[in-house]
Amino acid sequence: MRHLLLVVVGKDKEATRAWVDHNAERLPDFVGVAIIENLEQRPLSAIGNSFLTSPLCTDVFGLIHADVFFDSPLAKVSDITKQFAPDLEILYRTAKDGKVCGIVGAAMDAQRYWWGHSLPDGTEHPVSCLDGSTVFFRRDLGLRFDEGAFDGFHCHVEDLCLQAHAKGIPVVVPAVKADHVGRSTYEPAWQVDYAMYKGRLNEKWAGKEFQTT
């Protein structure tokens, strides 16, 4: 029986195939996967909500970029003696407990990031906002992506995290080995687009202190 619906969004077939090649054999039986080749460049908020409101959705929902790799040998784990449970099991369990979680997020009080692969095995760390590359949460929490304000590829996850904080729902990064490639981050067009959506996020949550990646 499936308990986690994982929606993987890539820009094309090459991106989604790379994800399948790395992750397919690592998927636990309780995970159902929807692979989206986003050739039409649909907003990630709209993709997420379409699955959240679908009868196919399970009790826990995950939305990730196709350049996120679980149980990754690329992760710079500081202590090689750590013994991790499979990443998706940890993320599912954390979300099932009523938290919003992902593999990396911004610290509450400073401009630094918390990566799951930097944390001691079996621990988690609270964050202000998760990075937009991954988010997992329980469907019955009533959280939904804001398709009006975040009608592109940025800040829909950060906004959802701020919604969670407003409801008293913890937002955390658990100890996992996952890694995010994020090759587009430093491209000028990416930066311009992100700045526009970050401005919308700042406007929506004016008066609230928060940090983003």
CATH 3.90.550.10 fits 4-204, yes or no: yes
Residue 1 pLDDT more than 80? no
> Given 3-state DSSP classes, what are the helix, strand and coil percentages for the chain, each rounded to the nearest 5?
30, 20, 45
Share of the chain above pLDDT 90, in %: 67
Q: Which residue has the tokens 């800040």?
A: 155
- Closest by CA position to 145, among listed 128, 121, 163, 172: 163
pLDDT score recorded for residue 73: 55
Q: Which residues contact 29 (CB under 8 A, 6 or more apart)?
A: none
In angstroms, the Cα distances linking 209 to 129, 132, 163, 200 are 11, 18, 13, 15
- Averaged pLDDT of the chain: 89
Element (H, E) at 113: strand 113-115
User: What pLDDT digit, counting tens, does each position of 116-155 carry?
Assistant: 999 998 999 999 999 999 999 999 999 999 999 999 999 9
User: What pLDDT digit, counting tens, does each position of 94-126 carry?
Assistant: 999 999 999 999 999 877 899 999 999 899 999
Side-chain half-sphere of 143: how many Cα atoms within 13 Å? 33
Tokens of 118: 């930097």
pLDDT score recorded for residue 101: 98
- Closest by CA position to 64, among listed 29, 106, 31, 98: 31
DSSP structure string for 2-70: --EEEEEEESSHHHHHHHHHHHGGG--TTEEEEEEE-TT---HHHHHHHHHTSTT--SEEEEEETTEET
Domain ranges of the chain: 4-204
Helix (H, G, I), strand (E, B) or coil at 129: strand
Q: How far apart are CA 209 and CA 142, in angstroms?
A: 23
CB atoms within 10 A of CB 8: 21
